[in-house]
Amino acid sequence: MKNITDEGIKNKAKFENIPPLTQEEVKNALDFIIKKIDESLDTFTHKYPAPASINNVYPAIDNIEWTNSFWTGMLWLAYEYTGDEKYRKVAEIQCEDFANRIEKQICVDHHDLGFLYTLSCVAGYKLTGNEKMKETAIKAADKLITRYKEKGQFIQAWGAVDDPKAYRLIIDCYLNVPLLYWASEVTGDKKYYEIGYNHAKTALENVIRDDSSTFHTFYFNPETGAPDHGATAQGYSDDSSWARGQAWGVYGLPLSYIYTKDEKFLDAAEKVTNFFLNRLPEDYVCYWDLIFGDGSGQCRDSSAAAIAVCGMMETMKYINDDYKPVYENACRAIVRSLSENYTTVTTPESNGILLHAVYAMANGVNKGNGVDECNIWGDYYYMEALMRYYNKDWKLYW
Ligand code: GLY
C-alpha cells in the first residue's frame, strides 16, 4: 500500500488565534449571495450561468456543460437558508431539465455526472423527497458507471471510452463518486458502491504523490491496466500541484471516507490538506497552482480556496488530533479573506459572487478560459462553506 508522507504544518502560527466567524459575518455574506441570486433568478431559470464569467459577467447557457448544477445547487442552498419557495420552484424546473438531459443523453459522455446530478437531483431528492429526481439521479449513476475500466479499476475521465489515449483518471472525480455511493444506498445495489470505492482506491494509489502533492490526471496502460504516468491538464506543469486539483482531493477524500469508512481516505485527506495549507499566501487564498506564491504575479484561484474550506470542514468532523484546530483556524481565515476581499460587493455590474478564480490558464484543456474571473463552482462552494457555518447541522448534498 502507498505510503504518503505527511509534511505536517510548517508555519503553525499562521493558523492560530484566528477569531471565529461571527453569526453576523456569516449572515451578511449569505444575504449578499441571496441578493445576487435574486438579481439573476429570472435570467437563470431556463438558462444557466456559463462555467466562467467574461469581465465578471456570466453569459447564459443551455444545460450542456459539466457545471450547470452548481447554480441549481445554489438555489437549493438558498431555499434551505431562506425557506422561500421561489428558489425551490426554479430548482425544480431545472431538475426537470436535468431529467431531460439524461433522458436524451445531452452532453453526458464524461465523468462529471456526479457534479451534475448530485447538486441538482440528489440534493432535490434529499430536500423534497421527489421520486422523479431520485430516479433521474440513478440514471445518471448508471451512465457514469459505463466509464468504469476494469483494467486499472477507475472511471475514465474525458474522451471516448474506446480511445486508448484517454485511458486516465483525474483527481476531480473524487467529487463524482459520491453519486455512486448514494445510488447504492437508495437502490440497495452494491455495484455503484464497488465501482466508486475501487475508483477512489485507485486514485489514492496513483494521483496522490508520495509527498502528498497531487497530479491532476493519471494514465494507465490500456492493455494491462498498469499505472503509467501522471500529468496535468489544467495545472502549471506535470510535476506541480494544480491548486484546484489539490482542493478536489481535500474535499473528495473525506467524502469517500464517509461512505466507505476506509481510514486511508481520512489519513490521506489530512496529508493532502497540510500540503495545501503549507502553500497558502499571506491572505490565505491560494494561487491557481501551488507552485506559485506571493510575488509571483500569478492569479489566485478563489474557487480552490472555497472547495478546500468545505473539505476541511468535513474532515474536521471525523478527527480529533492536533490538525483539527489548525483546520478550524484555516477555514475561518480563508472564508474571512474571501468575504472581505474577493466578492463582487466591489463590482455591482457582476452577476457572480467570488472574483479572482481561474478556470484554465493558457496551457491544457479549455485554454485561457476564465482567467481571473468568477466561476460558478467557486460561487457554489463559497455558499456551501457559509451554509456550514450558518447551520452546524447542515446535511451534505454529496
Ligand atoms: N473539474 C474541472 C475543473 O475543476 O476545472
pLDDT number for residue 239: 96
Contacts (Cβ under 8 Å, ≥6 apart) of 93 = 45, 46
Q: What's the mean pLDDT in 62-78?
A: 98
What gap in Å lies between CA 304 and CA 242, rounded to an integer? 9
The answer to whether residue 6 is catalytic is no
Average pLDDT over residues 350-363: 92
User: Predicted confidence band at 363 (pLDDT cuts at 50, 70, 90)?
Assistant: low
In the residue annotation, 210 being an active-site residue is answered as: no
Atom of ligand 1 nearest to the CA of 360: 5
Rounded distance from Cα 123 to ligand 1 centre (Å): 20
Q: From the CA of 245, give the closest atom in ligand 1.
A: 4
Q: Measured between alpha carbons, how far apart are the two ends of the chain, in Å?
A: 27
If you average pLDDT over every residue of the chain, what do you get?
A: 97
**Distance from Cα 12 to the centre of ligand 1, integer Å:** 30
In the numeric block, which cell numbers belong to residue 375? 466561476
| Amino acid (1-letter code) at residue 156 | Q
pLDDT tens for each residue of 81-103: 999 999 999 999 999 999 999 99
Enter the C-alpha cell of residue 120: 441538482
Residue 41 CA to chain centroid, in angstroms?
A: 23
9-33, pLDDT tens digit by residue? 999 999 999 999 999 999 999 999 9
Q: Confidence band (pLDDT; 50, 70, 90) for 345?
A: very high
Write down the catalytic residue from 172, 289, 301, 372: 172
Helices 23-40, 323-341: axis angle to 10 degrees equals: 50
b/e map 81-99, b = 16+ CB within 10 Å: bbeeeebbebbbebbebbb
If you average pLDDT over residues 111-122, what whole number do you get?
Answer: 98
Handedness of CA 199, 200, 201, 207 (dihedral sign): positive
Name the residue of 217, 244, 246 to mutate for ligand 1: max ligand atoms within 8 A of Cβ.
Answer: 244
CA 230, distance to chain mean position in Å, is 21
Q: Which atom of ligand 1 is nearest to the CA of 172?
A: 1
Strand 60-61 relative to strand 357-360, pairing? unpaired
- For the CA of 234, the nearest atom of ligand 1: 5
Residue located via cell numbers 490500456? 222
Q: Alpha carbon 152 to chain centroid distance?
A: 24
**How many other CB atoms sit within 10 Å of the CB of residue 229?**
13
| CA 389 – ligand 1 centroid, Å | 25
> Cα(85) to centroid of ligand 1, in Å?
31
The residue whose CA has the least distance to atom 5 of ligand 1 is 359
Going by pLDDT thresholds of 50, 70 and 90, the confidence category of residue 186 is: very high
Check pLDDT > 80 for residue 325. Answer: yes
* Cα–Cα distance for residue pair 249/307, rounded to 1 Å: 9
Q: Which atom of ligand 1 is nearest to the CA of 377?
A: 4
Q: Is the pLDDT of residue 353 over 90?
A: yes
Cα(356) to centroid of ligand 1, in Å? Answer: 15
Ligand 1: list residues with CB < 6 Å: 172, 234, 244, 359
pTM attached to this predicted model: 0.98
pLDDT digits (tens, 9 = 90+) for 42-61: 999 999 999 999 999 999 99
**CB within 8 A of 213, min separation 6: which ones?**
241, 246, 275, 290
Ligand 1 site-directed mutation target among 234, 289, 380, most atoms within 8 Å of CB: 234
Given 42, 109, 112, 239, the catalytic residue: 112
Q: Got the DSSP string for 188-231? A: --HHHHHHHHHHHHHHHHHTB-TTS-B-SEEEE-TTT--EEEEE
- Estimate to the nearest angstrom the gap between the alpha carbon of 91 and the chain centroid: 20
Mutation test residue for ligand 1: of 68, 168, 232, 248, the one with most atoms within 8 Å of CB: 248
Q: How confident is the model at residue 1 (pLDDT cuts 50, 70, 90)?
A: confident
C-beta of residue 253 within 8 angstroms of C-beta of residue 176? no
Closest to 128 in 3D by CA, of 192, 80, 170: 80
Model confidence at 254: pLDDT above 80: yes
What is the Å distance from ligand 1's center to 248 Cα?
9
Please identify, by atom number, the ligand 1 atom nearest to the C-alpha of residue 170.
1
Look at residue 366 in the predicted model and tell me its pLDDT. Answer: 61
Crossing angle of the two packed helices 177-187 and 243-260, in degrees rounded to 10: 20
Mean pLDDT of 297-325: 98
Whole-number pLDDT of residue 262: 98
- Given ligand 1 and candidates 110, 371, 377, 379, which is best to mutate, with the most ligand atoms within 8 Å of its CB? 377
Q: Ligand 1 center to residue 266 CA distance, Å?
A: 22
Per-residue model confidence (pLDDT) at position 365: 58
pLDDT at 278 (0 to 100) = 98
